[in-house]
Amino acid sequence: MRYVRIVEEKEELQTIEDVDMCESNVYLRGEDGDKLVMEDAVLIEDEGGRIKTTNILGEVKVFEGGIEEITFLDHRVIISD
């Protein structure tokens, strides 16, 4: 998904710049492996023993535990308790 942001606006001319969104999928690690619990997360907050995630649509989920792993190239965040 790509968004366009207006960088400069003049009377007759607009300059635009492409902005890449960096959403990640969030997985909960358990005994049975990793379970996808949220797609397209854009905000992940550590609340001291709890992880609060928000996706691109504004849906919020809270998980007990902490962040075990972040893989930026794969857009993948692992939470474990």
pTM of the model: 0.73
pLDDT at 22: 82
pLDDT at 29: 96
Extract the runs of DSSP E, i.e. beta strands, from the chain: 2-9, 14-20, 24-30, 33-46, 50-55, 60-64, 66-71, 76-80
pLDDT tens string, the chain, 81 residues long: the values are 444 444 455 555 445 455 556 899 999 999 999 999 999 999 999 999 999 999 999 999 999 999 999 999 999 999 998
pLDDT at 81: 83
